[in-house]
Amino acid sequence: MIATKVEAKVKLHKGLEFRNENPSDLSDDKTLLARSFGNVTEENVFTFEYTLKPISELVKMEDLNLEEIKYFPFQTQISYTSLDGARLLRVITKKMEVSTDREELEKKADFKLMSENAMQKGS
pLDDT per residue over 51-96, tens digit each? 999 999 998 998 998 888 999 999 999 999 999 999 999 999 999 9
**In total, how many domains does the chain have?**
1
Three-class secondary structure of residue 111 per DSSP: helix
- Per DSSP, the residues of 35-54 read EEEEEE-TT-----EEEEPP
Query: Is residue 120 over pLDDT 80?
Result: no
pLDDT per residue over 8-55, tens digit each? 999 999 999 999 999 999 999 999 999 999 999 999 988 999 999 999
CA pair distance 122, 110, nearest whole angstrom? 19
CATH number at residue 18: 2.60.40
Q: Which residues form the domain of 78? A: 3-122
